[in-house]
Amino acid sequence: MDNGEVIPGLDEGWTFAGARVTEWGSGFLVAILIQEMFLSSPARTMPIFLGILIGTTFGLVRLRKAFPDEERGVANFFMVILGISPPGIPAPAAIQPVWSGVPVKKLEEKKEYHQLHLSELFDEEEGDESEPQF
């Protein structure tokens, strides 16, 4: 019987303190690697180890929650950093070479758009539905 109500968090995976298992595992591995490479004995540096573990884990949680489509957003973010085009997203245009839906605020004067005086053909105001003047 479905009355149309949605139970929040029903299809979410298991978390502990808001972090998923992969985030806790990544935090643990980063803490182990830093412990082995840069710190002395684990008995003396346990507070630093725990700080790295918790900091890395919740840093990954914060990064994941910064994107609306959590896992895909993080994957696309790291692919762009590595110089790989994310799958299913077209390459950015030369006029706006960023992976974002943010509109361009102002173009440089040396762009062809200004050199060909195309700005005179189109209205500069957003929301004006009038036809361009030719």
pLDDT for the residue numbered 95: 60
84, 77 Cβ separation under 8 angstroms: no
Token couple for 98: 């960023």
> What band does 68 get if pLDDT is binned at 50, 70 and 90?
confident
Q: What is the pLDDT of residues 77-134, one digit of tens each?
A: 888 888 887 777 666 666 655 555 555 566 677 777 778 877 777 665 544 445 445 4
pLDDT for the residue numbered 128: 47
Residue 83 lies in a domain: yes
Residue 4 lies in a domain: no
Q: What is the pLDDT of residues 14-64, one digit of tens each?
A: 778 888 888 899 999 999 999 988 888 878 888 898 999 999 999 988 888
pLDDT for the residue numbered 51: 92
Residue type, 94: A
Task: Name the β-bridge partners of 16.
Answer: 19
Q: Per the structure, how many domains does the chain have?
A: 1
pLDDT for the residue numbered 75: 82
Residue 8 lies in a domain: no
Helices (H), 41-97: 46-65, 70-82
User: How would DSSP label each residue in 81-117?
Assistant: HHTPPPTTSPPPPTTS-SSS-PPP----TTSHHHHTT
Residue 3 lies in a domain: no
Residue 129 lies in a domain: no
Residue 133 lies in a domain: no
Domain that holds residue 109: 15-120
**119: three-class secondary structure by DSSP:** helix
Residue type, 134: F
Query: Residue 23 class from Cβ within 10 Å (0-12 exposed, 13-18 middle, 19+ buried)?
Result: buried
